[in-house]
């Protein structure tokens, strides 16, 4: 008697199976967390056999690293027009969009537990954060500084981090990314004043 289970007759190989496994490990990470990632769990979710995983990877973390490596988005930084405020806003919107990616969720989990799994964190920085520029608003700020529209001396490490830091903090506090209005407030009330382009009064009534 053949098995005749629900698993049908088709046997996936190579790329198709690989993509399924990558999706499975990211989903598993989101559900059970980094500390409970397990070969059995990944195999279950991917609908494959544990032995097939062990043929390619030695541990759940190795599977995860491969998944992160292959799924990273790799989008370019925003090209700057002649609209500093709009470009800053778009840069933060790109950041928010990326934050809702499965890869970003995985990255957050890894960063949060970096003390426990330093190799994972190191690989993450190497393969994701360094690969994509990382810096969202900094790209914009440098562009306008290069064109003499803002004082280059104002673009300190602290100033370059303001936008990202506030988006991050908002996401942590509210458990949701900031809205476009909140992004605008970040630009108007924090970033622009820091580069010497503050308005005389708050833009958002409050």
Binding site for a copy of itself (CB under 8 A): 30-36, 108-109, 111-116, 151, 153-154, 156-159, 161-162, 164-166, 168-170, 172-173, 175, 182, 185-186, 189-190, 193-194, 196, 198, 200-202, 204, 206
Nearer to DNA, 39 or 108 (CB): 39
Cα–Cα distance, 43 to 50 (Å, whole number): 5
Q: Does 40 bind DNA (CB under 7 A)?
A: yes
Q: Which does 79 bind (CB under 5 to 8 A by kind): DNA, a copy of itself, none?
A: none
Binding map of DNA across residues 5-24, x = CB under 7 A, - = no contact? x-x-xxxxxx--x-------
What's the distance, CA 103 to chain centroid?
A: 6
Kindly tell me which residue out of 31, 33, 35, 47 binds DNA, with binding defined by CB under 7 A. 47
Q: Which does 120 bind (CB under 5 to 8 A by kind): DNA, a copy of itself, none?
A: none
Least Å distance, CB 18 to a copy of itself, is 26
Nearer to DNA, 15 or 157 (CB): 15
Nearer to a copy of itself, 61 or 114 (CB): 114
Least Å distance, CB 69 to DNA, is 18
Least Å distance, CB 39 to a copy of itself, is 16
CB 137 within 8 A of CB 160: yes
Least Å distance, CB 5 to a copy of itself, is 31
Nearer to a copy of itself, 8 or 172 (CB): 172
| 3-state SS track over the chain | CCCCCCCCCCCCCHHHHHHHHHHHHHHHHHHHCHHHCCHHHHHHHHCCCHHHHHHHCCCHHHHHHHHHHHHCCCCCCCCCCCCHHHHHHHHHHHHHHHHCCHHHHHHHHHHHCCCCCHHHHHHHHHHHHCCCCCCCHHHHHHHHHHCCCCCHHHCCHHHHHHHHHHHHHHHHHHCCCCCHHHHHHHHHHHHHHHCCCCCCCCCCCC
Nearer to a copy of itself, 24 or 48 (CB): 24
CB 133 within 8 A of CB 73: no
* Phi, psi dihedrals of residue 152, rounded to the nearest 5°: -60, -30
For DNA (CB under 7 A), the number of binding residues is 26
């Amino acid at each position: 008697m053949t098995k005749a289970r629900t698993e049908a007759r088709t046997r996936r190989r190579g790329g198709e199976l690989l993509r399924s496994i990558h999706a499975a490990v990211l989903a598993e990470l989101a559900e059970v967390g980094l500390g409970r990632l397990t070969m059995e769990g990944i195999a279950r979710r991917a609908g494959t056999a544990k032995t097939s995983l062990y043929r390619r990877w030695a541990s759940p973390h190795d599977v995860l690293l491969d998944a992160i490596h292959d799924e990273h988005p790799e989008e370019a930084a925003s090209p700057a027009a002649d609209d500093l405020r709009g470009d800053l806003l778009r840069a933060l919107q790109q950041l928010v969009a990326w934050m809702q990616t499965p890869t970003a969720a995985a990255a957050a989990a890894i960063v949060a537990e970096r003390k426990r799994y330093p190799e994972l964190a190191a690989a993450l920085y190497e393969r994701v954060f360094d690969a994509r520029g990382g810096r969202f608003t900094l790209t914009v700020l440098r562009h306008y500084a290069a064109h003499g529209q803002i004082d280059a001396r104002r673009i300190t490490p602290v100033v370059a981090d303001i936008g990202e830091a506030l988006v991050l903090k908002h996401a942590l506090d509210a458990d949701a990314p900031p809205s476009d209005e909140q992004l605008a407030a970040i630009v108007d009330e924090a970033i622009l004043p820091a580069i010497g382009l503050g308005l005389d009064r708050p833009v958002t009534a409050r």
